[in-house]
Amino acid sequence: MYFRERLEDVQQVCELIDIPYYSVNFAREYWDRVFTLFLNEYKAGRTPNPDVLCNREIKFKAFLDFAMKLGAEKIATGHFVRTNSDGQLLKGVDPNKEQSYFLYMLHRKQLEKAAFPVGGMTKEQVREIALNAGLPVARKKDSTGICFIGERQFKPFLKQFLPAQPGDMVTPEGEVVGRHDGLMFYTLGQRRGLGIGGHGDGRSYFVVDKDLAHNKLIVAQGEDHPLLYSRGAVIEQLTWVDDYHMPVIGLDYGVKTRYRQPDQQARLSALEKDTAVVSFAAPQRAVTPGQSLVIYDGEVCMGGGIIREAIR
């Protein structure tokens, strides 16, 4: 259903504006390059971001290569980002849709073969243009969910591929306060879906850590609990959009540890070939292993890495 609806959208739009369309199957590439890694991260108790890998491995690699073989000069995507004359990746102008966080793994050579026509507009402006052109997708609901998988009920979906291992929910002091369905279903900072309450001072519980060795989910009361906050992070699998514009140790930059987060001031206190230590100017909440930490120099997205561990 997910793919059939989108193929029908493509066909209707292409026929309306009189351009050819093609259908190509990247299921094998997606499984090998994205989904397998997605599952391995969950097995390791981390919370991955498949959209980042999907952009690097499918949209701007497999699909880009296919388009070049067809004789295309560039590919155009609907990402809300921009590029400049120096080939750098810039934030989109719409703060509610800005998507450079998901494209930080791209390199300059890929960006040179891409166009982002909506990056300088808001989503409302894009819809207005589509409406005036009579496109049938002008009022279509924004797509959400996992890249190329769509909206799913997460627990049943993940259970199809990984066995769940229930265990105890415990406080940092070791008190058992409930049972979890499997560590892979929870992420740091999570409040909803824990199914526990009525303990201690009555405040809500939040996930603050995972004990993989003993299959325990560590939970604590209060959204301001100290274990929810980190003063830094170790990141790995570093990638830079432009090898000539990399962060320098000791200088301040803006960073995001999750999508739609306002830039947070931070600096690199150590940098090796594939690992960096990032120190935050102010403690950051729910810094989650497996997610991406993306580094900005003003409007320019420099690159980033995968969070290996939070530093408390």
Is position 54 annotated as part of the catalytic site?
yes
Query: What number of other Cβ atoms are within 10 A of residue 121's Cβ?
Result: 17
User: Based on the domain organization, do 18 and 49 belong to the same domain?
Assistant: yes
pLDDT in the model for residue 64: 96
pLDDT in the model for residue 271: 84
pLDDT in the model for residue 153: 67
pLDDT in the model for residue 10: 87
User: Based on the domain organization, do 15 and 120 belong to the same domain?
Assistant: yes
Question: Dihedral, CA atoms, 102, 105, 108, 112, nearest 10 degrees?
Answer: -50
SS3 (DSSP) at 11: helix
User: Based on the domain organization, do 209 and 240 belong to the same domain?
Assistant: no
User: Based on the domain organization, do 10 and 115 belong to the same domain?
Assistant: yes
CA–CA gap between residue 244 and residue 3 (Å, rounded): 40
Question: The domain spanning residue 273 has which CATH number?
Answer: 2.40.30.10
Question: The domain spanning residue 59 has which CATH number?
Answer: 3.40.50.620
> Which residues make Cβ contacts (< 8 Å) with residue 232, sequence separation at least 6?
266, 269, 277, 278, 279, 280, 310, 311
Residues of the chain under the 70 pLDDT cut = 1-2, 143-154, 198-200
pLDDT in the model for residue 1: 57
Is 178 a domain residue?
A: yes
Give how far Cα 26 sits from Cα of 31, 53, 58, 144, 275, Å. 9, 14, 7, 20, 31
Among 52, 111, 118, 147, the active-site one is: 147
User: Based on the domain organization, do 105 and 12 belong to the same domain?
Assistant: yes
Give how far Cα 262 sits from Cα of 14, 37, 127, 269, Å. 37, 28, 25, 21
pLDDT in the model for residue 309: 94
User: Based on the domain organization, do 199 and 113 belong to the same domain?
Assistant: no
Paired tokens of 60: 């701007």
Report yes or no: 184 and 162 within 8 Å, Cβ to Cβ: yes
Among 34, 52, 54, 287, the active-site one is: 54
Domain span at residue 123 reads 2-88+95-132
Is 145 a domain residue?
A: no
Is position 14 annotated as part of the catalytic site?
no
- Of the candidates 272, 276, 303, 261, the residue with the CA atom closest to the CA atom of residue 110: 303
pLDDT in the model for residue 41: 92
User: Based on the domain organization, do 183 and 235 belong to the same domain?
Assistant: no
CA dihedral sign, ordered 263, 33, 78, 123 = negative
Question: The domain spanning residue 179 has which CATH number?
Answer: 2.30.30.280
In this structure, the strands spanning 205-211 and 216-221 are antiparallel
> Which residues make Cβ contacts (< 8 Å) with residue 259, sequence separation at least 6?
101, 102
Paired tokens of 141: 């609901």
pLDDT in the model for residue 158: 81
pLDDT in the model for residue 168: 97
Is 76 a domain residue?
A: yes
User: Based on the domain organization, do 198 and 233 belong to the same domain?
Assistant: no
Report yes or no: 125 and 260 within 8 Å, Cβ to Cβ: no
pLDDT in the model for residue 59: 94
pLDDT in the model for residue 197: 72
